[in-house]
Structure 1
Amino acid sequence: MKLPLEGVLVLEFAQYLSGPCAGLRLADLGARVIKIEHPEKGEAGRKLSIKNLWLDDSSLLFNTINRNKESFAADMNNAEDMETLRRLIARAHVLIHNFRPGVMEKRMLDYESVKAINPSIVYTQISGYGSKGPWAKKPGQDLLVQALSGLAFTTGSYEDNPTPLGLGIGDYLCGNQAVQFILAALIRSRKNGKGTLLELSLLESLIDLQFEFFTTYFASGKMPERAHHHNAHSLLSAPYGIYKTSDGFIAIAMMSLQQLNKMMESQVLTQFSEGDVFSKRDEIKVVIADLLLHHPNDFWIQKAQIFDLWIMPVLNWKQMKTSKGYQVLEMEQEIASSKGGKKITTTRCPIRINNKKLYAGKAAPALNEHTQQIKQSLL
């Protein structure tokens, strides 16, 4: 299958997660993505291990987020290497970097300098907090941005400490937002030959993620308040939340109390009206929680299906992997190490094109693996 971005050349001056995440998605869509790496150190993400897991000489994380790319070694402090990079930039359609403000400017690889080499290039710069202001040069690490953005106060219940999401949500979100606007800018460039400067930050992406909370706060002047019990969304009423049963947990989404009580058959719940679901949110949730403890997951799930209620079991990854709902998606793919040895299983691109799932099992590159080949084919 011919992929939409075949023929598009992307230069990835990026490290860790946000920039490489954008490059990964562009590669999944058919673009040729070349990582620009220091000849000796490589991209810093090569040493960012998750659970101390490694494949060859690089972290497991590096191998998963940099599959299907090429590695070009260049020292940006070396004049000869910089001249080579400028020649490569002249051939590129997209440039991505996620260095702190000032790094690319110092090396004369800022947008204006790059545009002088290649007027039609889509130049994408990702930062932690934007290019200006008191936080601009602070480390743009995901946990720190979650802390500053207020996101940590949306997770957990009222008495809990601020609770971060247990993954790099800002990095992944910002990287994928970058792809959306890169695609738009490529269409614009194809139409009129003009380049585009795209500027994104992890902080702005996480603020955008919380638009419901911010809009509510702007309108009311009041902070969204997490439920004291079983909080799942600070702006939603009872029964919305995750609850323990006698042998596991279930998630209950939006529904009226009358609907829920068809399943629960509780005299206590009849004492609450639909007008109480916000003002007495915690009282209602406590009643629901006590009732659910009397039976196992399967009992409640079967009853929920009878009444067509929005209720699901809460699965861990092992349970989800064995479920038919997961298996039919065929989300897994194998990739080998760049040295052709041990294989690892990771996830595929979550998009289908013309009913075709997108698999890209090409290994993440070894440092400097493609430098000579790229020079021969492009320079």
Structure 2
Amino acid sequence: MELNEGAIASVEPVLPLDGIVVLDLSQFLAGPSCALRLADLGAKVIKVERRAGGDTGRSLELAGQRFGDASALFHTINRNKESYAADLKDPAERAQVEALVRRADVVVHNFRPGVMERLGLGYARIAELNPRIVYAGVSGYGDTGPWRDRPGQDLLIQALSGMATLSGDRDQPPTPAALAVVDMTAGAQLAIGILSLLVRRGITGRGGRVDVSLLDAAVDLQFEPLTVFLNGGGTPERGAVRNANVYLPAPYGIYDTADGHLALAMMPVNVLGDVIGNARLAAWPADQWLRERDAIKAEIGRHLATGTSEHWLALLDAAGLWVAPVLDWSALIEQPGFKALDAIQTIRSGDETMRTTSSPIRIDGNRLKAPRAAPRLGEGNERIDAELGVAEMQA
């Protein structure tokens, strides 16, 4: 039978997680970012929040930005979800949440170890209510060990895990990433675990539990340099000049030009020297590119500062060398390459609109977009109770 491509294209796409119900009991970034990806993929994500104030992220404003009744950050990480307000310490309202658990496929939380158990919603109880459930948790440091009850926060994890000692130049203090990279990575890892258990459940009918700690995520982010260290590579030492990787030789780094900055990735120093017209670099012995990387980078920096970014880009691009301009966001969003990504979407709450990022995932060639903003606190209680039959479950 021949497939009619035109007919296929006209069919409304069904997202992979259509029909999956997720209860998101998490706050801030790591857990909510995981649930956001599941929502983008078609799941019905019900954000279970405290009656008094909801997710603390609702009031966590960046640069004073608000959208509707909450912070812009909250809408960025909780768009396309529904809100169900409940006091988990109240037996009657916890019973309502338990009824939701019976109808759900996934539960996501990021409480500290032991808190879900104290609330009566630990894995044993959840699995008793729904043996097919996928139970997913993010913690700071895992369920065991002396750090178990420490506060799990992105900057603290970057500091403890060694990440902050890899960035910046040698004479600078430890330098953290300026983004919540650990939270977002942990959320992505948790989503992978959830999807794998949903696949297993589809085969065996059995649910399961997946856990990711922020510390695990931070360690995994460092797998390349950490593996070198663990196998005799020695304690990594940041370069004194233009440090960008503790183990890679020159010219790897970011350099000033006469009117901006350029990033140079892996390339032969002698070839670079030939292309930009620097005889000293062209003659530098290959066996010294790592050992003498600071001196090489200093020479590259002096030379590139004599010309514009456009001038050097033209030469380096023509030679097929790995180079990119350093752009700020105002410059990035005007680039044809960025516009081709279609990475920005507009979300809507009533009469208000806000621009934010789209999911980075494409399914069947289609970018995943959802224009619905984050929900008002508790706005879905009655509708969700009716849709999932909560009253009947409690009867």
Please say whether Structure 1 and Structure 2 have the same fold, judged by a TM-score greater than 0.5.
yes
Once the two structures are overlaid, the 10-residue window that deviates more, 165-174 or 188-197, is: 188-197
Q: Helix, strand or coil for the counterpart of 1:368?
A: coil
Matched residue, 2:366: 356
Matched residue, 1:212: 224
Matched residue, 1:142: 154
- Cα shift at 1:13: 0.6
Equivalent residues in 2 for 1:104-253, closer than 5 Å? 104-220=116-232, 222-253=234-265
Q: Is the 8 A contact 2:83 2:377 kept in 1?
A: yes
Matched residue, 1:95: 107
Q: Which amino acid aligns with 2:161?
A: S
Check if 1:17 corresponds to 2:29: yes
Separation in structure 2 between the aligned mates of residue 354 and residue 85 of structure 1, nearest angstrom: 35
Separation in structure 1 between the aligned mates of residue 364 and residue 108 of structure 2, nearest angstrom: 28
Q: Per-residue displacement from partner, 1:72-117 (whole Å, max 9, x unpaired)?
A: 0110111100111111101111000001111101011111111011
Q: Which of these residues, 254, 259, 262, is aligned with residue 271 of structure 2?
A: 259
Q: Is the 8 A contact 1:262 1:307 kept in 2?
A: no
Query: TM-score w.r.t. structure 2 length?
Result: 0.94
Matched residue, 1:56: 68
Once the two structures are overlaid, the 10-residue window that deviates more, 51-60 or 367-376, is: 51-60
- Cα shift at 1:135: 1.4
Q: Helix, strand or coil for the counterpart of 1:268?
A: helix
Separation in structure 1 between the aligned mates of residue 241 and residue 313 of structure 2, nearest angstrom: 21
Q: Is the 8 A contact 2:346 2:354 kept in 1?
A: yes
Q: Which of these residues, 285, 291, 294, is aligned with residue 282 of structure 1?
A: 294
- Cα shift at 1:161: 0.6
Check if 1:346 corresponds to 2:370: no
Q: Helix, strand or coil for the counterpart of 1:50?
A: coil
Q: Is the 8 A contact 2:27 2:56 kept in 1?
A: yes
Q: Is the 8 A contact 2:161 2:215 kept in 1?
A: yes
Equivalent residues in 2 for 1:291-310, closer than 5 Å? 291-310=303-322
Q: Helix, strand or coil for the counterpart of 2:341?
A: coil
Query: TM-score w.r.t. structure 1 length?
Result: 0.98
Q: Is the 8 A contact 2:270 2:283 kept in 1?
A: no
Separation in structure 2 between the aligned mates of residue 216 and residue 278 of structure 1, nearest angstrom: 15
- Cα shift at 1:23: 0.5
Separation in structure 1 between the aligned mates of residue 209 and residue 319 of structure 2, nearest angstrom: 52
Q: Which amino acid aligns with 1:182?
A: I
Q: Helix, strand or coil for the counterpart of 2:62?
A: coil
Q: Which runs of 4+ in 1 moved over 3 A?
A: none
Matched residue, 2:323: 311
Check if 1:368 corresponds to 2:378: yes
Q: Which of these residues, 53, 59, 66, is aligned with residue 78 of structure 2?
A: 66
Separation in structure 2 between the aligned mates of residue 264 and residue 71 of structure 1, nearest angstrom: 58
Separation in structure 2 between the aligned mates of residue 292 and residue 221 of structure 1, nearest angstrom: 32
Separation in structure 2 between the aligned mates of residue 114 and residue 349 of structure 1, nearest angstrom: 30
Q: Helix, strand or coil for the counterpart of 1:328?
A: helix
Q: Which amino acid aligns with 1:42?
A: G
Question: Across the two proteins, how many residue pairs are aligned to each other?
Answer: 377
- CA RMSD of superposed structures (Å): 0.9
Q: Is the 8 A contact 1:125 1:198 kept in 2?
A: yes
Q: Is the 8 A contact 2:274 2:282 kept in 1?
A: no
Q: Which of these residues, 32, 36, 42, is aligned with residue 30 of structure 1?
A: 42
Matched residue, 2:4: none
- Cα shift at 1:221: 5.7
Q: Helix, strand or coil for the counterpart of 1:309?
A: coil
Q: Helix, strand or coil for the counterpart of 1:52?
A: coil
Gaps spanning 5+ residues in structure 1: where? none
Q: Is the 8 A contact 2:26 2:110 kept in 1?
A: yes
Separation in structure 1 between the aligned mates of residue 49 and residue 36 of structure 2, nearest angstrom: 16
Separation in structure 1 between the aligned mates of residue 352 and residue 335 of structure 2, nearest angstrom: 27
Q: Helix, strand or coil for the counterpart of 2:226?
A: helix
Q: Which amino acid aligns with 1:351?
A: I
Matched residue, 2:336: 324
- Cα shift at 1:25: 0.2
**Measured at CA, do residues 258 and 165 of structure 1 come closer, stay the same or move farther in structure 2, by a change above 3 Å?**
same
- Cα shift at 1:56: 2.2
Separation in structure 2 between the aligned mates of residue 231 and residue 93 of structure 1, nearest angstrom: 46
Q: Helix, strand or coil for the counterpart of 1:99?
A: coil
Q: Which amino acid aligns with 2:162?
A: G
Matched residue, 2:393: none
Separation in structure 1 between the aligned mates of residue 343 and residue 55 of structure 2, nearest angstrom: 27
